[in-house]
Amino acid sequence: MNLNQDENRTDALLWESLKAGNVSVFESIFKTNYGFLFNYCLRFHDDEDEIKDCIQILFLTIWERREFLGTTTSIRNYLLASLRRLVLKRMRDQNGRMGIDLDTFNLQTELSVEAQLIQDQSIKENLILLQQSIEKLPERQKEALYLKYFGNQSFAEIAAVMNITTRAVYKLIYKALDTLNDELRFTYRFE
């Protein structure tokens, strides 16, 4: 059995325990996922208080309706998809229309803390070039990259979160990587 299967089995057991009313499992799931969920939503909605409210609403709804929840083998994926729908619905309801155009999703990118601490100037310059190149990508590609490389989500999980096919996720990520590769190759060739 591989690591991913072990994680899926663990998530399935935790989820069943939550559905059975285990408060400590519920609290653990909340604490484990809160930071990632908050940072994910900041990528497309800049109202931190609204994001916090949405996360609270999501977890409150999960707890109140736990007996009616389906099964899952990826708690994080379930939470991401549910929270994304909730935030987008509330943005649409507040604005009387869709708050964002999903094709021009304003996903902000940021470098990891580790990368920011690197003191070597040439590495810093390379990271800045990479970030600038990522910023040029279409918003859906940036969202898929974020979920894949910062969220450690599988292609199927990303498809569920973004409400697209797995094939579309492959296309988004590989197109983004090809574009970054071309962009960075072009930049280094002319420096």
Residue pLDDT, tens place only, 75-128: 988 998 899 888 888 888 776 544 444 444 444 444 444 444 443 455 566 667
pTM of the model: 0.59
pLDDT digits (tens, 9 = 90+) for 156-181: 889 998 999 999 999 998 898 888 88
| Domains of the chain, CATH where assigned | 1-100 (1.10.1740), 107-191 (1.10.10.10)
pLDDT of 17 over the 50 cut? yes
User: Out of 11-25, 126-140, 175-189, which region has the weakest mean confidence (pLDDT)?
Assistant: 175-189
pLDDT digits (tens, 9 = 90+) for 52-63: 889 999 999 999
Rounded CA-CA distance 137/143 in Å is 10
Rounded CA-CA distance 87/44 in Å is 9
The residue type found at 118 is I
Answer yes or no: are the C-beta atoms of 81 and 106 closer than 8 Å: no
Phi, psi of 2 (to 5 degrees): -90, 170
Answer yes or no: are the C-beta atoms of 170 and 99 closer than 8 Å: no
Average pLDDT of the chain is: 79
Angle subtended at Cα 167 by Cα 152 and Cα 74, rounded to the nearest 5 degrees: 35
3-state secondary structure at position 146: helix
